[in-house]
Amino acid sequence: MGICDGRTVIITGAAGGLGKAYALAFAAEGANVVVNDIGTSLGGEGRDTSAADAVVDEIKSAGGNAIANYDDVTDWDAGKRIVDAAVEAFGDLHVIVNNAGIVRDRMFVSATLDEWDATMHVHLRGHFCIARHAVDYWRSRSKEGHEVDARIINTTSGAGLQGSIAQAAYSTAKGGIASLTLVQAAELGRYGITANALAPAARTRMTKQAFAEKMATEGESFDVMDPANVAPTVVWLGSSLSKDVTGCVFELEGGKIMLEDGWREGPVVDAGAKWDPADVGEAVSRLLQERTPPRKVWGTG
């Protein structure tokens, strides 16, 4: 018996890297898995369905249940088709893992509008479309009197939480996903839906390119950057055991689970009256001295 026996999960971008690790781990814990992937390059170009098929074959060979889906998560109608495919194949839907993404690394002074729009499109619109259709399904079930025990698991990033050099678009999109998660958690709990987000650190196509030295841990006694290390927490979040956990962002790396503390009010100076512009600088200097130092932007040393 696994902790996800009988639950159905859709995982986007599930043909490789973290998505594949999630798919295999969910299946090992008894879940029915929809392996969604259109098989693009790291930058979002091209199409190849064979990788998704290979993950499905691996799950089935191990005795699990899975289907492949090749719909584009950024397409509104396709988002509904993905949800419908899960329900048609397995009778219900319980979990969405929004994992698909692209990266177009570029220093801000050289960034192009097309690169910016493509990154926002895949990450933000991609997170929206499929989750929105899943919520329609779960809300309808709830109104019909069925007990809903559903999960939205989004993917943010350390880049979205603290910024990353040469990743202005990616950082912006990932920061937006963290905020989206907070709103989903606040709004959807009444229907039996939780929403949480991950900021995973693991060896993937993206990270091998951007952080090659940090990702090179294969030869160590514990391969800290193996994507499989992230999967257990994701599977737990997708299980019924996590029903009381919502609105959280978890950073995951190796054997480490870290709960993000989020934006909160820091030190304050109140003049009790309208400020004179000339006096603001001194007040800000005091605030900067009293604050907890923020984490450095990735790539700044």
Could you tell me which of 260, 241, 262 has the C-alpha nearest to residue 252?
Answer: 260
Specify the pLDDT at position 209: 55
Q: 256-259 and 249-253 as β-strands: parallel, antiparallel, unpaired? A: antiparallel
Q: What is the DSSP string of 205-247?
A: HHHHHH-HHHH--TTSSS-TT-GGGTHHHHHHHHSGGGTT--S
Task: Supply the angle between the helices 231-238 and 17-28 in degrees, to the nearest 10.
Answer: 60
Residue 161 DSSP label: H
Could you tell me which of 129, 134, 151 has the C-alpha nearest to residue 31?
Answer: 151
Pair 210, 156: CB distance under 8 Å: no
Please give the model's pTM, rounded to 2 decimal places. 0.92
Specify the pLDDT at position 202: 85
Per-residue pLDDT of the chain (301 residues; tens, 9 = 90+): 799 999 999 999 999 999 999 999 999 999 999 999 997 655 546 577 899 999 999 999 999 999 999 999 999 999 999 999 999 999 999 999 999 999 889 999 999 999 999 999 999 999 999 999 999 999 999 999 999 999 999 999 999 999 999 999 999 999 999 999 999 999 999 999 999 999 999 876 555 455 555 545 556 677 888 999 999 999 999 999 999 999 999 999 999 999 999 888 999 999 999 999 999 999 999 999 999 998 999 889 7
Catalytic residue, candidates 22, 80, 171, 174: 174
Whether 70 is catalytic: no
Whether 22 is catalytic: no
| Whole-number Å distance between alpha carbons of 247 and 181 | 6
Specify the pLDDT at position 175: 97
Catalytic residue, candidates 157, 164, 171, 239: 157
Reduced to 3 states (helix: H, G, I; strand: E, B; else coil), residue 8 is: strand
Could you tell me which of 184, 198, 200, 193 has the C-alpha nearest to residue 242?
Answer: 193
Q: Residue 26 carries which side chain, given as an amino acid letter?
A: F
Contacts of 255 (CB under 8 A, 6+ apart): 222, 224, 229
Specify the pLDDT at position 219: 61
Whether 61 is catalytic: no
Pick the CATH number of 8-259 from 3.40.50.720, 3.40.50.300, 1.20.150.20, 2.40.10.230: 3.40.50.720
Catalytic residue, candidates 80, 164, 170, 239: 170
Specify the pLDDT at position 222: 74
Residue 286: both structure tokens together: 């005091």
